[in-house]
Each structure stands twice: as structure tokens, then as C-alpha cells.
Amino acid sequence: MSSGLSRGQRVFEIFNIVFLTLAAFACLVPFIHIVAVSFSNSAAVQGGMVNLWPVNFTIEPYKYVMERGEFWRSFGTTLQRVAIGATLNVLLVVLTAYPLSKSVRKLKARTIYVWIFFFVMLFNGGLIPNYLLVKELNLLNTIWALVLPGAVPVFSVILMLNFFREIPDELEEAAYVDGAGHWRILFQMYIPLSLPAVATISLFAIVGHWNTWFDGLIYMKSENYPLQTYLQTIISSFQNMESLSATDLMSLANLNDRSIKAAQLILGALPVLCVYPFLQKYFVKGIRLGGVKG
Amino acid sequence: MLKRKQLKRELPLHLMLVPGLILIFIFAYIPMSGIIIAFQQFNPVKGLFGNQQWIGLANFEYVFSLPNIWQVVWNTLRIAIMKIVAGMFVPIVFALLLNEVRQVFFKRITQTIIYFPYFLSWVILSGVLIDMLSPSSGLVNTLLNTLGFESVYFLGNNNWFPATMVVSDIWKNFGFNTIIYLAAITSIDPVLYEAAEIDGANRWKKIWHVTLPGMQTVIILMMVLSLGSVLDAGFDQIFNMYSPQVYESGDIIDTMVYRMGLLQAQYSASAAVGLLKSGVSLLLISVSYYSAYRLFDHRVF
């Protein structure tokens, strides 16, 4: 207390820390609770005894989920969409951002191109024409329905081109004088210099594809649902608990609906948790470059 | 001669744009023009650009004759505007409070925790919330009961549903927006604080006369840009948490379009609603970007 804080200031600091701790706790509690439910014994869950710590620890719910074909099948679809979709996203973002990062002097038609991409942020055809288009292209129930419509994420393009712009022009000029064309300059100079930005957009693409569920719901048949869509169907049955046959089966196995759903939610969130440290590292930089620059 | 050289140098730049342009053309511009089905009696057999029967504004007339249409518009505006206002205020307060924390470790941990929900999908978060808010077994109601209150059916009661959507939306997003405001605070020149201290300013005065004015640009910019989301009440969130018993307060334009279009296959009427929404949004977003550009020289590209 050498800084000589007045009493009022000390009270404020304590209040502030307590308040922020409570807020942070409020953000975490729901997840802790769900983890606790997923690891708790059926009787304890149904008796409402589980708060923030598992009661009568068990891994039965996870075992049950892991033994289900649907879970693994949807997991496979998701892996596929993440692999193809994110690769495509990153490739297209880099290819689109590089020319658009050039000045009008170097790319005469830049303004026209920018408007073509910008307008997509302003207006869209809405759900119905998008659905009908995918249907008429015969993409329904294929992985391409999940991957192609969002293949050019304009927000990431903006983020990437802002990053490219920070690379000094002289570097490009020097490379050009040495005989390098734009392709070489992009792949051998710009991309290696922009690895943090490439990492950011890759993470956004991966998490985005992992989290998206609505396109799965409208474009895929239920046996090909990606994981989040599969989880969505489980959650919507939360509301009406009348699915008796399923519940009966589970009570036979000494399991309960809530724990199984909790276990599946945890499994659906786990990968995001795993990349979270990386997300955190890059994303402050990302939002500064991409959206609000102040 | 010189022009030819310039063209040759430019050519790869054009080629790089080709794949992106093709995909944007197919998956953004074709659906945009596909919106003409709002003026047709759409017959799926004939296809999106097939020889459909034109019926003028009949779809729009039908939509506006629906008994619940104004309720749905009102629900959308109400939820969206409450989200915008509260979603501005809460992050600003948290950024100010976090900025006053001098324990660096505590500050970092708190930031890390509060923006975690931002990265999870509404499917996961809804699953978690439905469990937490359940009137019979949920943790929130258990707590309310312990404190002597009656259980509240947050997701099944029309008085509570919109507020629950607003609060849970803030729960998901406030951490993210807090970071934006914190970044604005960090860019304030420390000399200003030193000068204020020399003038004898206390903590509140420094917040009021230095920090808030320093954030002003970003705050106004965020307000202007949020104008574009006045018709976005949050489809992902509401779709995963609503049920017929709260349609009265929670059914929004996007959920209505989904049910009408894809569940009842009323493609044309549903596209008409979608067109109205996209049209108004186009106007709002244009105004917001244009104002941001004029006021702060904020450029998207």
C-alpha cells in the first residue's frame, strides 16, 4: 500500500475485483455444471443433487455416446467439412486478398472488384433462394453443400488484405526487379511474412466450420448431419421430453437423458476448448485488423 | 508498349481473383437474383429461373394479411434493439472496470474467461442454457427456490423469453466486445493521464475526462455499425431455444421465414418476407457504413 491509496480507492478496488470475479464465475458456471452433470451417476442427476461437482463419479454417459454410430458418423462428416472447407477458405482468402490489397495504380479495376465483394456484405438473397440454388445444383446431401456456399469469407478477406497492406511496397518492387512475378511474390514472400494473419484466418475458418449447424440441417439428410446439427436435433428434443422409448432404454442401462446430452455437449465443445489458447493469441490482433480500427 | 507491359504485370492479379469471383457469383449473386421468386407463383418443378408465373405483389399482400406478421416484426425489433443497447453498455462498463485493475495476471485471466462463450456455437450454448434454466431441475431455479422465490420458466413464459434472449446473448458476446473497447483504451496516450493527475484528477475524473473521451470514436463507430443489425434478432440463438408456447414473444422474421419456406414449402411467400428484410437491411447497413465513412473515415476495404 505504498502508493498511498485513499480508503475510498481501496474500497473501489476490492469491489471491482469481487465484481469481476463474480462475472467471470457467471461465465464459467454453466460449463462447470454441465461437466459435473455429464460425469454424475444417474440417480444423483435425477435427484437434483449435482451442482458444480460430479456426484458418484461415472464415465457411463461418455461410454454410451461413444458406442453410438450416429455420433461417430456425424463426427466424421464434421471432420470432412472442416478439412475441405477450411482449406478452401484459406486458399481463397489469400488469393482474393492479395490483388485487392494493391493500389488502384497497380490494379486498375480494383474499385470494381472491391464493390463486387463488398456488395455481398450489404445484401443477400435470403434463405429460400440459397436453398433452392443448392437444390438445383444437385448439391443436396453432399459435402459440397456445406463447403461451397461460404467458400469466400469476405470478413477474412478484409482482415487478410489489411495485413498484406502493412508489408512495405519496396519489398514487392525489389522482388519484381529481381524477376519475380505476382504468384511468386505472394507465395514466397507475402504468405511467409503474414503467418500470424494466415493462422488467424485458419482458426476462424476451422472454428467456423466446426460450429456451423444450420446448413447441415437444411442441406443434409439426417444420416449425414455434421456433429453440431446432430447435437441440435438432440437439444431440440430437450424441450419435449416425451420421447419415452429412448428414455426407457436409457433407464434400463442406468443412464439418464440429461447426463448423455451433457456428455455430448462437452464433446461438441471440446475441440474449441483445445484451440482456444491459439484463438486467444491471434484474435485480438484479428479484430483490430479486420473490423474496428478506431 | 508501356500499356502492354502494365497489362502483363496485372494479369496474375486478375487470375488470382477468378476463383473467388466465380464462387461469389454462383453462391451470392445468383441467389440475389433468385429473389425474383417473391413476385412469382413458384413451382419447384420448373426450377429457380424456369418459366414461372408472375403474380406481381400477391405474395406481399398475402404476407401482410397474416394475422401474426406485425407481432413478428415487433418481436424482431424489440429483441434486436434491446440486444444492441445492452450489448453496447455492458462491454463498455467491463472495459472500464478491467482497465482499473492493476493486477496484470487477474486482468488476463478474467479476459480469457469472459470471452470463452463467444467461440462456442449457439447449439452448444443453448443446450447448456436449456439445462441450466429448466424449471424443474435447472441450477438457476434451484438457486431461486433456495432463496425463497418461485421457479421461473425462462424459456416457456412469454414475459421472460425476450429478456432471457437478451441476457444470454450478452453472456455469449460481451467478452468479445470488451476486448474491442479495451484495445481502444490501450491506445490512449498515457501523457493525458499524467497531465490529469498533475491537475489533481481522481479516478472518476480520469475515467470521465480522459478514458471515455478516448473511447468516444470507437463507441460511436460501434453504435453506427450496429444500425445494420436492427432486423437481426439472432436466428441461431432463438431457433435453438424457442418453442410454440413462446411464439407470441419470441417468433422473429428469420424463424418465420424458415418455418414458412422450408417446413411448409411456401417458397414464394417466404422469399417475399426475406426480400423485405434484406431490402431494409441493405438500406440500414448502407447508411451505417456511409456514416462511419463520413464521420471517421472508416473504410471496410
CA of B238, closest CA in chain A: separation in Å? 12
Domain ranges of chain B: 69-296
Q: For residue A223, is pLDDT > 70?
A: yes
Predicted local distance difference test score (pLDDT) of residue A250: 45
Mind listing the pLDDT tens digit for each residue in B178-229?
988 998 898 899 999 999 999 988 888 999 999 999 999 899 989 998 998 9
Select the residue from B111, B119, B206, B282 to test the A interface by mutation, using most A Cβ atoms within 10 A. Answer: B119
Place of cell 465484481: A19
> What ipTM describes this predicted complex?
0.90
Angle, nearest 10°, between helix axes A7-38 and B122-133? 90
Question: What is the rounded distance in angstroms from the CA atom of residue B193 to the CA atom of residue B208?
Answer: 11
Identify the band that residue A2 occupies on the pLDDT scale cut at 50, 70 and 90: very low
Q: For residue A237, is pLDDT > 80?
A: no
Q: Which ranges constitute the DSSP H helices of A127-241?
A: 127-136, 144-147, 154-165, 169-177, 182-184, 191-193, 195-211, 214-219, 227-239
**Interchain contact, A96 vs B101, CB within 8 Å:** no
Nearest one of A62, A17, A60, A9 to A270, comparing CA atoms: A62
Q: Which ranges constitute the DSSP H helices of A241-256?
A: 244-252
Mind listing the pLDDT tens digit for each residue in A10-67?
899 999 999 999 999 999 999 999 999 999 988 888 878 888 899 989 999 999 888 8
Mind listing the pLDDT tens digit for each residue in B210-221?
999 999 989 998
**Percent of the residues in chain A that have a pLDDT greater than 70, as a whole number:** 88
* Protein fold of B69-296: MetI-like fold (1.10.3720)
A37 touches B at CB < 8 Å? yes
CB-CB neighbors (< 8 A) of A237 in chain B? none
Mind listing the pLDDT tens digit for each residue in A142-155?
999 999 999 999 99
Question: What is the rounded distance in angstroms from the CA atom of residue A21 to the CA atom of residue A27?
Answer: 10
Question: What is the rounded distance in angstroms from the CA atom of residue A116 to the CA atom of residue B255?
Answer: 29
Which of A27, A123, A268 lies nearest to residue B116, judging by beta carbons?
A27
Three-class DSSP category at B53: strand
A19 touches B at CB < 8 Å? yes
Mind listing the pLDDT tens digit for each residue in B85-125?
999 999 999 999 999 999 999 999 999 899 899 999 999 99
Mind listing the pLDDT tens digit for each residue in A247-277?
444 444 456 788 889 999 999 999 999 988 8
Query: What are chain A's domains?
Result: 62-290 (1.10.3720.10)
Predicted local distance difference test score (pLDDT) of residue B59: 95
Select the residue from A128, A173, A237 to test the B interface by mutation, using most B Cβ atoms within 10 A. Answer: A128
